[in-house]
Chains A and B, each alone.
Chain A
Amino acid sequence: MKKLKKNYPLHVMLLPGVVFTLIYAYGPMAGLVMAFQEFEPLSGFFKSDFIGLDNFKYVFQLPDFNQVLWNTVLIAVCKMVLFLLVPLILALLLNEVTKSWFSRFVQSAIFLPFFLSWTVLGGIVIELFSLNGPVNALVSSFGLEPIMFMLDNSWFRTIIIGSDVWKGMGYNMIIMLAAITGINATLYEAAEVDGAGEWKQMIHITLPGIAPIVIVLSVLGLGGVLNAGFEQILIMYNPTVYEGSDIIDTFVYRLGIFSQQFGPAAAVGLFKSVISLALVSATYYAAYKYNNYRIF
């Protein structure tokens, strides 16, 4: 009883956070019932009619749905692989730089786009790849016809993947670089005494040394396999390239907010959330088993 009284302020402190989480995190979770309803905004969650799995049946037979699913997985997997490979290569190369001012300067330049919004970066990318933009000037200088990058499905998808890697690669690079710096220097000295060259040192010391962090990063990345980059695609795409770049999130946005088909849109959202939850739980469990990684 005495303890309860002493801890009373702690519960009071948690109250605002609990209230906001209840309304804006658990509220929408409960609101997922609308995936099983003929949802009418005016009737709300409680008075709309339940229609079982009709919303799911409806969206799964939409002609675009398979393409959307395929785009999502394709774009997300490409991004995931590149988000490991590119930072790894950059971190290994940066580690070989002996002038620290140069290394710091390169890191700063690579990390900068990470902090900017997709409005700014999307605006820049669209300008760079526009018909009379610098990239097409380069194309013309080789005597080729200018390319409509933003209107061609496969070019556009490549640009989506490439520009996201451009924005985000600094983050993993810095984590990996920190891991490389953390490797015990005596290991390298011992290897040198044993006559191992720099290449062998990288294969046998550096790579095994950062393997745990690379595995954790890749395992955690797997959980995001259905997140292909909503804000990026929303700001950069146009109806001509829907076929190659429409992903689950943009599809849900158009279906729900533009077409006002709330039930079916929520059904797609629920489908995505459930698969993501399964993937995230499995991967966190794997990360925990492998490397004792815990978030709490």
Chain B
Amino acid sequence: MRSRVSLSRKLFNVSNALFLTGVTLLGIVPFLHLLSISLSSNTAAMAGEVKLWPVGFSWDAYIYLGEKVEFFRSLWVSLERVVLGTIVNMLLVFLTAYPLAKSNEQFGSRTVYVWFFAVTMFFGGGLIPTYIVVVKTGLIDSIWALILPGALSVWNVILMLNFFRSIPKELEEAATIDGAGHWTILWKVFLPVSLPSIATIGLFTIVGHWNAWFDGILYLNSPDKYPLQTYLSTLIMSMNSMMTSVSVEQLKVLENLSEKTLRTAQIFMGALPIMLVYPFLQKYFVRGMTVGSVKE
């Protein structure tokens, strides 16, 4: 594009590329380090010899992981949660977004409903009252405690209704003339043409359920019902509470007591599914951000 490239521009280009490479490494190196530890021998890992490449390469952590009941049990809970949670969330998003996508002339009560939902984006009861409500509705220690309190995401409803509104009016009018009611229009007309948005919102929902861990700590009493991320969080938090001992020597001993490679392997497995779908995530997420920012 630019025909004459000055020396200072060349210098800038080189240093810019170097700097951005550095930032890129900041994004990648921590994960490489994690993977390397999990593939090293436990002694090398504990001695802190592992940097970016496994030292004393060994699959032991993953082999041991294959026999670890807690890991697979929580993995199964996570899968259950993702499937159930995504179905519930998506159904509610469709059902709520469709009426709200109507114009005020078509659906007179729309404004009332919009305010009813919008208020919850600005004000909430907070942790303690929500906890009490979950207790009183009998969800404690059940997987539904991880699904029902967050069943309706108002933010996703906004994304969906913005998309519904971009569907040409003629489609709906033609269906109405053919005698289709609202239910038929939603299922047979709107949803089939909304597949890209459904994929976008669905992907966010899946990732959200996979990553959530704190609700498990809060609402589940028995560790055998923990989803994977909650189980991982207990590993990390127990590590943390051991760290409070004061002297450097004690701390070193404690750090070594834990099965470092195994813990690291489990953390890596918690990140792996996200990394596998990351290319799609990135693509859809950028699209979702632009959908969400289009305002009338």
Contacts and interface: CB of A to CB of B under 8 A. Distances in A.
Interface of A: 3, 7, 9-11, 13-14, 16-18, 20-21, 23-32, 34, 41, 44-45, 90, 93-94, 96-98, 102, 105-106, 108-113, 115-120, 122-128, 130-134, 136-137, 146, 148, 150-151, 166, 171, 174-175, 178, 198, 230-231, 234-240, 249, 252-253, 256-257, 262, 265-266, 269-270, 272-273, 277, 280-281, 292-296
Given A10-B102, A34-B132, A239-B241, 10 more contacts: A18-B116, A29-B123, A94-B20, A98-B1, A109-B25, A124-B33, A146-B248, A174-B289, A175-B289, A252-B127
A102 B151 CA distance: 40
B255 interface: yes
A273 B286 CA distance: 31
B248 A148 contact: yes
Mostly helix, strand, loop or mixed at chain B's interface? helix
Interface in B1-35: 1, 9, 12-13, 16-17, 19-21, 23-28, 30-31, 33-34
B293 to A, nearest CB: 8
Nearest to B48: A132
B136 interface: yes
A17 B95 contact: yes
A187 B268 CA distance: 47
Given A111-B282, A119-B229, A269-B128, A21 B108 contact: no
Interface string B118-129: 101111111111
Interface in B199-214: 207, 210-214
A295 B120 CA distance: 13
A257 B218 contact: yes
B169 interface: no
B72 interface: no
Mostly helix, strand, loop or mixed at chain A's interface? helix
A238 B254 CA distance: 15
B237 interface: yes
Interface string B131-155: 1111111000000000011111000
A44 B136 CA distance: 8
Contacts of A94: 20
Interface string B223-243: 000000100110111011101
B27 A110 contact: yes
A150 B243 contact: yes
Nearest to A253: B127
B131 A34 contact: no
- Greatest chain A CB density within 10 A among B1, B210, B237 is at B237
Nearest to B296: A294
